[in-house]
């Protein structure tokens, strides 16, 4: 069995996979996974162009939306969900759309991906505008729900992108195409494997880089953290310790006085200001802690 799409072709290295031992199967899967990073690396110029546009849109009040079905949709929603707690970002800044709705997060919704009009309707329901960016995610490059959403977003003036693991399609409503060619899967057509791994890597790169450029970090420290659970209170306290001369107890007290906001706490300490004054300084410097410190 083979198809014109790379992701549907048989992998010649796994033709006899059912005859292998457990360890041999694991080694084979791992050897295929080792190829993914290089495939992502080959598309860094395309990812760069896309992230530059995302940052520009964020700076004028725009949002980033992911749209996908199945594994692709779930990965988009996962990446979006991790942005607010990691970077204290507005939960609406990065959002995920999945064919079949949120029920499709935990179980397959058969046929949900086959209707392009449903993708267009989702774009309307999420209120996507000309300020926003919509990234379609589809390993096959041809999921109707995703393509319908992208065409509708383009008609609304939004910036559009398409992350795929096949040869780029010729579509005039796509502004940016990111073709990560990971090759045939170990199990034919099982794009939750290498294609899914490549997608996760690319989405991490996109949002992490965008957050850095929005001044959400100081060096490699996530200083825009807002403590909301025990782990984050501990992490925030340790960041303050690292960037000041305070011991753990005093750093924790400072973080509490800054209502759990690490950036504000650092400004309060370095500039000997109140919480309100620290927030004003941060606003005046567009959140760039390095400018203040």
206-249 pLDDT, tens digit each: 999 999 999 999 999 999 988 889 999 999 999 999 999 999 99
Interior angle at CA 206, CA 202 and CA 212, nearest 5: 140
Give the pLDDT confidence score for residue 194 in this predicted structure.
97
Say if 10 falls within a structural domain. Answer: no
* Count of C-beta atoms within a 10 Å radius of residue 19: 8
Instruction: Check whether residue 42 and residue 94 sit in a common domain.
Output: yes
Are 203 and 24 in contact by the 8 Å Cβ rule? The answer is no
Domain that holds residue 196: 22-213
pLDDT tier, 110 (very low <50, low <70, confident <90, very high otherwise) = low
DSSP secondary structure letter of residue 229: S
Per-residue pLDDT band for 1 (boundaries 50, 70, 90) equals very low
Residues 6+ apart with CB under 8 A from 174: 136, 150, 154, 160, 161, 162
The residue among 158, 185, 213 that closes a domain is 213
**Which position has the token pair 């080792």?**
34
Asked whether residue 149 falls in the same domain as residue 274, the answer is no
Q: What is the mean pLDDT of the chain?
A: 94
Together in a domain, 163 and 281:
no
> Does residue 186 contact residue 36 with C-beta atoms inside 8 Å?
no
pLDDT reported for residue 102: 84
CATH code assigned at 88:
3.40.50.10490
Q: What is the pLDDT of residue 49?
A: 98
pLDDT of residue 2: 40
Point out the domain boundary residue: 159, 182, 213.
213
Residues 243 and 273 occupy one common structural domain: yes
- CATH number of the domain encompassing residue 276: 1.10.8.1080
pLDDT in tens, 278-291: 999 999 999 999 99
* SS3 state of residue 135: strand
Q: What is the DSSP letter of 106?
A: T
Residue 256 shares a structural domain with residue 135: no
Q: Within this chain, do residues 133 and 234 fall inside the same structural domain, yes or no?
A: no
Collect all residues with Cβ–Cβ distance below 8 Å to 264 and sequence separation of at least 6. Answer: 258, 275, 278, 279, 282
* Catalytic residue annotation: 82, 113
> pLDDT at residue 3 above 70?
no
| Residues pairing with 95 in the sheet | 65
Percent above pLDDT 70 for the chain: 99
Domain annotation covers residue 3: no
pLDDT of residue 147: 95
**Integer Cα distance of 62 and 148 in angstroms:** 21
Question: What is the model's pLDDT at position 86?
Answer: 85
Average pLDDT over residues 264-283: 96
pLDDT of 111 over the 80 cut: no
Residues 250, 203 share a domain: no
Q: Are residues 132 and 277 in the same domain?
A: no
Residue 76 lies in a domain: yes
User: Between 87 and 163, whose confidence is greater?
Assistant: 163
Nearest residue to 88 (alpha-carbon basis) of 260, 275, 257: 260
Average pLDDT, stretch 39-67?
Answer: 98
Residues 237 and 275 in one domain: yes
- Domain ends where: 179, 213, 247? 213
Q: Do 80 and 173 belong together in one domain?
A: yes
Residues 234 and 139 in one domain: no
Number of domains in the chain: 2
Dihedral (CA of 32, 37, 41, 43) sign: positive
Task: For residue 7, give both structure tokens.
Answer: 């992701």
Counting residues of the chain whose pLDDT is more than 90, the rounded percentage is: 84
Alpha-carbon Rg of the chain, whole angstroms?
22
Can you give the pTM of this predicted structure?
A: 0.91
Residue 225 lies inside a defined structural domain of this protein: no
Question: Any idea what the Cα angle at residue 53 is, between residues 50 and 57, rounded to 5°?
Answer: 140
User: Could you give the C-alpha distances from 145 to 7, 31, 111, 122, 231, in angstroms and in order?
Assistant: 18, 33, 10, 9, 38
Looking at the fold, whether 269 and 154 belong to one and the same domain comes out as no
Whether residue 92 is contained in a domain is answered as yes
Q: Is residue 242 part of a domain?
A: yes
Residue 12 within any structural domain of the chain: no
Q: Tens digits of per-residue pLDDT, 55-67?
A: 999 999 999 999 9
How buried is residue 115: exposed, middle or buried, by Cβ count under 10 Å (0-12/13-18/19+)? middle
Whether the per-residue pLDDT at 142 is higher than 90: the answer is no
For residues 131 and 56, the answer to whether their CB atoms sit within 8 Å is no
Does residue 1 lie in a domain region? Answer: no
């Amino acid at each position: 069995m083979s198809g014109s799409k790379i992701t549907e072709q048989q992998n010649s290295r796994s033709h006899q996979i059912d005859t292998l031992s457990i360890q041999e199967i694991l080694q084979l899967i791992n050897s295929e996974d080792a190829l993914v990073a290089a495939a992502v690396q080959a598309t860094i110029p395309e990812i760069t162009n896309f992230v530059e546009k995302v940052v520009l849109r964020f700076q004028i009040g725009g949002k980033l939306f992911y749209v996908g079905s199945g594994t692709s949709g779930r990965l988009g929603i996962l990446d979006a969900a991790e942005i607010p707690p990691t970077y204290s970002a507005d939960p609406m800044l990065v959002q995920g759309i999945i064919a079949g709705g949120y029920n499709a997060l935990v179980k397959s919704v058969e046929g949900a991906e086959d209707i392009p009009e449903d993708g267009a309707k989702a774009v309307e329901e999420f209120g996507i505008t000309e300020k926003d960016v919509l990234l379609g995610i589809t390993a096959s490059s041809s999921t109707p729900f995703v393509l319908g959403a992208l065409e509708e977003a383009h008609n609304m003036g939004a910036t559009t992108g398409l992350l795929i693991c096949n040869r780029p399609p010729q579509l005039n409503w796509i502004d940016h195409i990111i073709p990560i060619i990971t090759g045939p899967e170990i199990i034919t057509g099982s794009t939750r494997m290498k294609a899914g791994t490549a997608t996760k890597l690319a989405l991490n790169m996109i949002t992490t880089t965008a957050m850095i450029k929005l001044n959400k970090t100081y060096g490699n420290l996530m200083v825009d953290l807002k403590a909301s659970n025990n782990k984050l209170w501990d992490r925030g306290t340790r960041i303050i310790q690292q960037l000041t001369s305070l011991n753990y107890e005093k750093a924790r007290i400072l973080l509490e006085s800054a209502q759990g906001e690490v950036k504000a706490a650092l400004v309060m300490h370095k500039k000997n200001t109140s919480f309100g004054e620290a927030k004003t300084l941060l606003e005046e410097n567009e959140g760039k802690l390095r400018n203040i410190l």
